[in-house]
Amino acid sequence: MQSLIDCHTHLLLGGRTLTQVDLSRIESREAFEAAISEAHARLPRNHWLEAFGWDQERWGGALPTREWLRAAGDRPTVAYRMDQHACVVNDAVLALLRSEPCPAGGEIVFDERGEPTGLMREQAAWQLVNPRVPAPSVEQRQAFLRAACAHAASLGLGAVCSMESLDDVQQVYEPLRGELPIRVAVTLLDRGADFDPSLAFRIRHDERLWINGFKTFADGTLGSRTARMLEPYDDAPGHRGLLMERALDGSLRDWACAVIDAGLSPAIHAIGDEALRVALDAIEPVDRRRVTRFEHAQTVHPDDIPRLGGRLVSMQPLHRAYDREPARACLGERRMNRVFPFRALLDHGAILGFGSDWPIVDLDPAKGIAEATGERERERTISRDEAIAAYATNAARFLGAPRCATAAGSLA
């Protein structure tokens, strides 16, 4: 198998999850609590317990609460949902938050008594919980990156686009530039008010490592019910999800202009159909060169599919495998024509680039191709050649480096 390209990964996060408690196969509350108890017994006394990968759909939909973490005692404990857009924390972590207000674009979930359940969504997880989790050392993060890149190379990937912070690029990627077994384009995460596109040029750009743009979040995810929808969720009447960051404060267009003027590519996370429409409304007047990447685009209103003609749409086929049935439950059969419309997007001239969003789902491009073509269920949505192009020649355009095109190949 020749090397392919993954348009959307999180290499350092993926490497870090390899050291966390794996909840991805848990199918009951009892098994969840047992995994926490076993990890607690193994850890040194002064360590946080970090877990990753739970999905409430695997056990019937009940959301975990701080009660599910009692086996960890007074050890600070956080367990992230598989999509990283929600987490559940225990009493020890809640005590650290000291009744801080919920940031805009986030949600702290409360029970009927007005007590926090421990479930934190979006900005509540990112801005309140994540900064309190002890950061790995530079040496540990470099080990995460080595493991992640080796894993990618073992699957036949020759290049990836990874979403990272500038600090990680400078402290972790830059010192390892010469030993990375794959090419890496980095999209810098823009999560604060101190945005400056010149930050992208603080590192040397070459064929092994370069920065191709900045990323912002317009909404959340379907699984966490935080993707922003035009109509309410069927299983949460009155709830349409959340807009966040620059889609919420109205600065998305100006932000995109600044990124484009710097010769870089804006990347906008948009999973809900309203979030994607907000992104398109902001981008269409200012991006004549069509360098913006619309990340995920898991639900697209039929009226908006033609608007994506000639535009870069970064999608993850294996997300469809995980989210299709939950989408049916939360959106209803009438909206399923909006969910992962690979064929319709291609027919209207969209440029599809495929990736994994690893560690959210499997990094293996062969599995992504099988899902995109419908081979797993004998339901072909796009051809094998079209799927390979989305991991190869198309994908090279998303990384923004002409030399990356040499990584494209085939699985034949």
With beta carbons less than 8 A apart as the criterion, state whether 21 and 35 touch. Answer: yes
Summarised one tens digit per residue, pLDDT across range 279-308 is 999 999 999 999 999 999 999 999 999 999
Cis peptide bond prior to 64, omega within 30° of 0: no
Which pLDDT value is given to residue 411? 38
C-alpha pair distances (Å), 91 with each of 67, 84, 123, 141: 9, 20, 19, 28
Which percentage of the chain shows pLDDT scores above 70?
Answer: 94
**Within 10 Å of residue 306's Cβ, how many Cβ atoms?**
13
Structure tokens at 171: 């402290």
Q: Is the pLDDT reported for residue 211 higher than 60? A: yes
Q: DSSP 3-state assignment of 20?
A: coil
Give residue 80's identity as a one-letter amino acid code.
Y
Return the pLDDT at 1.
46
Does the pLDDT of residue 321 top 90, yes or no? Answer: no
Residue 405 has pLDDT above 70, yes or no: no
Res. 402: pLDDT tops 50 = no
Can you list the pairs that 238-243 forms with residues at least 24 positions away whose Cβ atoms lie under 8 Å? 240/272, 240/274, 241/272, 241/274, 241/275, 242/105, 242/106, 242/107, 242/121, 242/122, 243/105, 243/218, 243/219, 243/274, 243/275, 243/278
Over residues 104-143, the pLDDT tens digits come to 989 999 999 999 999 999 999 989 999 999 999 999 999 9
Q: What is the pLDDT of residue 261?
A: 95
C-alpha 363/C-alpha 9 separation (Å) is 8
Question: Would you tell me how many other CB atoms lie within 10 Å of the CB of residue 379?
Answer: 8
Domains and CATH numbers, the chain: 4-14+137-406 (3.20.20.140), 17-132 (3.10.310.70)
User: What is the pLDDT of the chain when averaged over all its residues?
Assistant: 92
Report the pLDDT averaged over residues 318-323. Answer: 89
Which phi and psi (to 5°) does residue 163 adopt?
-90, 115
* Phi, psi of 39, rounded to the nearest 5 degrees: -65, -40
pLDDT over threshold 70, residue 46: yes
At residue 250, the 3 state secondary structure works out as coil
